[in-house]
Amino acid sequence: MPGRDDAGQGAPVTVTMAKAINMGLRAAMEADPKVLVMGEDVGKLGGVFRVTDGLQKDFGEDRVIDTPLAESGILGTAIGLALRGYRPVCEIQFDGFVFPGYDQIISQLAKMHFRSLGKLRVPVVVRIPFGGGIGAVEHHSESPESLFVHVAGLKVLACSNPVDAYWMIQQAISTDDPVIFFEPKRRYWEKAVLDVAAGPLTPLHAAQVLRSGDDVTLLCWGPMVKTCLQAAEVAAGEDRSLEVIDLRTLSPLDLPVIFQSVRRTGRAVVVHESPLTVGMGAEIAARITEECFYSLESPVLRVTGFDTPYPPSKIEEDYLPDLDRVLDAVDRALAW
């Protein structure tokens, strides 16, 4: 098969998240000739983060397509291709660039299956590098996940590590529903051992308990997973036991895993980069309060970005949730 290497033969390898997604895209394209990759600079350049590096060389310009700089055109073309039996994977170069194509996503992509009474399917995957922490300029560090979760008809995923990234992108491509696939750009270069032969360890829409604990449940996804794991490690040195859950899928939410944990710990803190107001944390807090009210020992707390536009890169560290802010929320939850 084109472009196969040792990793493709099943030998465990240490890879970055960017490489893992590249490998996942390659595996999906090898398995199904109807899978296409399209977007700005995804071909000859290999994408600004080199996630699609080498794919056009191996699969040709008909399957890895450099598009004009027009997100509405990329999404509209992908919808048409999907209706003709293809499985397009669209790359939005940066999170803040998705909005020219937002109308196509919410008005067409999300509604086509429902509008046609189930007769039509549009298996389009929209890859969006998201989040801050890379010192980028305006429109390059957004966290717009709640805007997509609010839209019925979309599945919304957020990987947090190379192993999940490899399997989740393939699972997303294989589903018949439209998928928004968020990739935490500041984690692109972090590494993990990937064993392709082992198969996916977690079903697509399942949350994953990454660290067990008894005192507080930390709920997170994407770039905040590493931050929460670090917080749990520090808290352990202070005799505080934090359970860390990577939600992985924001729509649909794996609510049973969340509820089971919170009923046991009695406390929950939701951590995300996007602004506080009407963010995912608000929805998760409401669901926990409705279902776990008599188990809660304190209110569900949120650690988030602020209700401002994303700041200039020199002060982005003041905006992003960090170790201290997460631990402060844990202290407040335990003091209640």
Q: Where are the beta strands (DSSP E) in 40-107?
A: 64-66, 87-91
Would residue 158 be called left, alpha or beta, if left means φ above 0 and alpha means ψ between -120 and 50 degrees? beta
| Cβ atoms 124, 78 nearer than 8 A | yes
Q: Which two tokens stand for residue 293?
A: 């009210």
Active site residue 150: no
Buried b (16+ CB within 10 A) or exposed e, 258-283: bbebbeebbbbbbbbbbbeeebbbbb
**Nearest to 185, CA basis, from 304, 78, 302, 50:** 50
Q: Which of 279, 22, 60 is nearest to 165 (CA)?
A: 22
Q: Which of 277, 270, 266, 264 is nearest to 245 (CA)?
A: 270
> Residues 140, 150, 205, 272: which is the catalytic one?
140
Q: What are phi and psi of 216, to 5 degrees?
A: -145, 140
| Residue among 230, 207, 201 at smallest CA distance from 219 | 207
The Cα-based distances of 161 to 39, 193, 249 in angstroms read 23, 10, 14
Catalytic residues: 140
